[in-house]
Amino acid sequence: MADHLLELWRWLSSMPHLGWYLALGWLAYVLGLGGWIVLQKRPPVATLSWLFGLAAIPYAGFLVYLVLGPQRIKRHRLRRARSRVRLSDEDVAATGEAELATLAQATSGLPASTARDVRLLVDGAATYDALLEAVRGARHHVHLEYYIYAADRTGTALRDALAERARAGVAVRLLLDAVGSAGIPRDFFAPLQAAGGEVAWFHPMQFGRVWRRTWINLRSHRKIVVVDGDVGFTGGINVTDEQNERVRADAYRDLHLRIEGDVVRALQVLFVEDWAYATGQRDFIASVAKAMPERRPGQIAAQVLGSGPDSPWESIHRLHVGAIHEASRRVWLATPYFVPGEAALMALGSAALAGLDVRVLVPRRSDSMPVTWAARSYFDELMAAGVRIYEYGPRMLHTKAMLVDDEIAIFGSANFDSRSFRLNFEVSVMFRDAAIAGELAQLFERELASAPRVRADRPTPLWSVRLPEALARLLSPLL
């Protein structure tokens, strides 16, 4: 092998004007790839970073950009949108014409609605109990979408409950992200499929098809369950023992929602979109629409938002920033991954400078050390503006929630970072309700009791703190 390589090198070296050919090839590569990048009209700093970085890795840079570069699913957007039939087009906005509700509807396409009952489920055990109860009571369909589903004790219990319902004639559709759930054996779902249930994968790997982008960087991070169109679940909890404190003492600290009411229709729309997109199926939509329960407006103003790279509006990002700007008294934020963009960073700082009670709750150490370093790189700037930052320590904090004043509460799957706001398919729910906001405030207060406040005079040695934080911040758009 070495002899062949040496012979090839000698042959190339003997070619006249080889340097000119290589220079022209590099120039054609830079111009071609550069034109592709520039035409996408991204922020100038990001565009220049990609241009200079890829120019330094000739030819291989094309593959890097193809797999990891910024992507919009333009070609598939209409295909996803066409599945929005007869599920939410008759929804009516909740009472009031709040600016946030208008913003949410304009950016996500999902109208404001109402809920009859909302339950905050703290940690995995309570969530899985409520989920299994709802699944076992299903009569027509169970729709599930998860980023992580593990073949462990928790995953097996849910699979068996779904298989039992499928044998009873209930339509069971389970959509899993192909990266988040990559470690699960494909035959794990054989009992469910044998019972008549369906399993599909979101953006499976297709590296062998060089003419198609792999979408490896665009994942479905959503957690959605819809039972018979009237009971819905969403939040931050996946299906895994890592989030089940009955199985593991170090399970993630997390928060989920159980919702009843008309707003569940919007969760249904998001699932139907994703299922139709992932499978190409559309015949099932009519039967789902027919099985939707009669509308019964509730007393809780609620609104679902879906965001992802098939839309340029970053609806969940805009909702968070808009809610912070609307605040008049307080903004309390909990997130496991805190890597804010410029707009969100300025909104939090401005709120604190204006005298509001701004608190950010993050894990003392997340499951990714680079993410922890990147988050801490923002602390000094925020604390200088008056933001109080707390690091939760007993377990890994995985809660994603924001409280604004005494009536706005936002929950969902989205972290407070660029990946969730721009690259992942995410889902959030906003409630404008004093009782739910009060319950969330009590939860925050309990969590803050176990979370020491970050001190402005904390030790920051160069090699172990400042340098890792600065380097991690450079990579923050990719984290």
| Positions marked catalytic | 221, 223, 228, 398, 400, 405
Reference 105, options 264, 303, 257, 289; nearest CA is 303
Phi and psi, residue 175, nearest 5°: -115, 125
b/e per residue, 107-145, with b = 16+ CB within 10 A?
bbbbbbbbbbebebbbbbbbbbebbeebbeebebbbbbb
Q: What is the 3-state secondary structure (H, E, C) of the chain?
A: CHHHHHHHHHHHHCCCCHHHHHHHHHHHHHHHHHHHHHCCCCCHHHHHHHHHHHHCCCCHHHHHHHHHCCCCCHHHHHHHHCCCCCCCCCCCCCCCCCHHHHHHHHHHCCCCEEECEEEEEEHHHHHHHHHHHHHHCCCCEEEEEECCECCCHHHHHHHHHHHHHHHCCCEEEEEEECCCCCCCCHHHHHHHHHCCCEEEEECCCCCCCCCCCCCCCCCECCCEEEECCCEEEEECCCECHHHCCCCCCCCCECEEEEEECCCHHHHHHHHHHHHHHHHCCCCHHHHHHHHCCCCCCCCEEEEEEEECCCCCCCHHHHHHHHHHHHCCCEEEEECCCEECCHHHHHHHHHHHHCCCEEEEEEECCCCCHHHHHHHHCCHHHHHHHCCEEEEECCCCECCCEEEECCCEEEEECCCEEHHHHHHCEEEEEEEECHHHHHHHHHHHHHHHCCCCECCCCCCCCHHHHHHHHHHHHHCHHHC
Of 263, 319, 372, 282, nearest to 102 by C-alpha is: 319
